[in-house]
Structure 1
Amino acid sequence: MDNLIDIGLNLMHSSFKKDRVEIIEEAKKVGVNQFIITGTNVNSSQLAAQYASKYPETLYSTSGVHPHDAKTCNGHSMFELEKIAKEDCVVAIGECGLDYNRNFSPQDLQRKWFEAQVQLADRLDMPLFLHEREAHEDLYNILKKYDGISEKSVVHCFTGTKSEAQNYIDLGCYIGVTGWICDMKRGRDLQEAVSVIPPEKLMIETDAPFLIPKNFDVKPKKNRNEPKYLPHILNTIALCMGIDAEELAVQVNKNTKEFFKI
């Protein structure tokens, strides 16, 4: 299994501070060769782009403000995100969206600054890297307002139901699946939902260092998710979908390269 791409890696997280280079090299040994570093606010988006620019054709990044940070946004934030987005290594606007599970930012501000980032992606003709948790209807309705934007959107770290997945697919979105599917308790909805995701609309990710898979035969010594576990996640997805893992890997790789233009 070669040439896998991790579309969601929080490489600038403090837990990777001492071994960022090593974890990329470890992942390459198992066929994970390209990585997209997630930006979650202006500062982290700047850091991600600065780091990714040192490793062309291996590392890429996104430029966005996570709904948790929507309360920090203003017009200048959008100006800075646009400036970052014009760097060669930046391949999407996001991580942006709505999170009504924790409501770290007021819902009205989440909607306001999410829509501002949808408009930014539309203006720059860039993909959208989306976050949605317990806010399906509102996020769906905002995307519906913009012709063609859904086909350039991936719902990152999808953990919803089969019907929610179908709604996003019908809208034209891609779906990003993480090791959440490897959790035999919390991941049951997702294990069912992948049955309605066409292989040509699927992407894969770790969201490392978060969401370490729960179904390893031997539990890793470090309770930290890493991109080297992406093949394990892919194998679990393939099993749930009833598809050959090697064939799925080829399709997912094609989807990702075409979507992010990498």
Structure 2
Amino acid sequence: MPEWIDIGVNLTDSAFDSDRTAVLERAWQADVSQIVLTATSLAVSHQVQPFCAEYPDRLFCTAGVHPHHADQWTSEVAAELRSLSAADCVKAVGECGLDYNRDFSPRPQQIKALEAQLQLAAELQLPVFLHEREASKVLIDILRHYRDDIPCAVVHCFTADREALYPYLDMDLHIGITGWICDERRGSHLHSLVGDIPAGRLMIETDAPWLTPRTLRPKPKRGRNEPAFIHSVASMLAACRNESIEQLAAHTSATARTFFDLPFPTCSTPKAESGCR
């Protein structure tokens, strides 16, 4: 069976409060072998690590501050984030970046928080998990100053156009594709672009509980997305790339395992009692 690695799940979101364990069990049953939990604030960076401790071969996480929360960035936050990032279960710095679509934080603050986290990634030699909305040119300009110092970076949930994709690829960035590609209202432009992403630079994610694939049948109650639905993303992505599901699973999972430095799962029963190693 194809093996999937979901590189972006917001497991601490309140949408999962009633059935978080069941969500993970459904993921394992759907051949999702490993998941990277996304941290979007200092609080969430704390919250994700205990989940990784419960499933040490299956769950991993990031540590970072999303641009929506960049107005909370302080030297104290930076110091605590550096400490959190030292845990073995932390496989990337982020989710960090720029969001000029919603502008929940002032743009100068977004840039300040992003640059500080890029510096942290360079210091710790960790990958970077990037967020970008309507800010690709600014992000590219900033990344040029740091790209040689960070080992690798992924533009998570890529939704932009060719003018953004090609410079990202030219900078040797990785690209994460979500259920956005299944949205006929706003994601169909991706259909002709994803074939240009080389194998070895492409990864797949659900961004659960958001971005539920609109191609999913039957539609889930309350519209909530979860990792088990990665198959809908994969089906559309494979069709657009003219690949088989098996081919897509093989190279995206191998890329994710290399990018995040993930071990091969060793236990047939995912849950374990040991902590972050």
Matched, 1:193 2:193: yes
AA of the residue aligned to 1:193 = L
TM-score of the two chains, using structure 2 as the length reference: 0.92
Matched, 1:100 2:100: yes
Shift, 1:5, TM fit: 0.7
Verify the 8 A CA contact 2:5 2:253 in the aligned structure 1: yes
Q: Deviations over 1:147-192 (max 9, x none)?
A: 4356510000110012211110111000000000001121022222
The higher relative CO (CA closer than 8 Å, separation ≥ 6) is in 2
Matched, 1:158 2:158: yes
TM-score of the two chains, using structure 1 as the length reference: 0.97
RMSD between aligned residues:
1.2
Verify the 8 A CA contact 2:67 2:96 in the aligned structure 1: yes
Higher helix share: 1
The SS at the match of 1:53 is: helix
Total equivalences in the alignment: 262
AA of the residue aligned to 2:96 = C
2:69 alignment partner in structure 1: 69
Shift, 1:111, TM fit: 0.5
Verify the 8 A CA contact 2:10 2:38 in the aligned structure 1: yes
Matched, 1:34 2:34: yes
The SS at the match of 1:8 is: strand
Verify the 8 A CA contact 1:159 1:187 in the aligned structure 2: yes
- Equivalent residues in 2 for 1:117-156, closer than 5 Å: 117-149=117-149, 152-156=152-156
Verify the 8 A CA contact 1:177 1:205 in the aligned structure 2: yes
The SS at the match of 1:71 is: helix
Distance 2:153 2:95 in 1: 11
1:221 alignment partner in structure 2: 221
Shift, 1:133, TM fit: 0.2
Distance 1:151 1:172 in 2: 10
Verify the 8 A CA contact 1:212 1:225 in the aligned structure 2: yes
2:82 alignment partner in structure 1: 82
2:273 alignment partner in structure 1: none
Distance 1:148 1:53 in 2: 32
Matched, 1:19 2:19: yes
Distance 1:8 1:153, change over 3 A: same
Distance 1:82 1:150 in 2: 15
Distance 1:17 1:124 in 2: 33
Distance 1:220 1:186, change over 3 A: same
Verify the 8 A CA contact 1:40 1:66 in the aligned structure 2: yes
The share of aligned pairs that are identical, in percent, is 43
2:57 alignment partner in structure 1: 57
Distance 1:149 1:195, change over 3 A: farther
Distance 1:15 1:165 in 2: 31
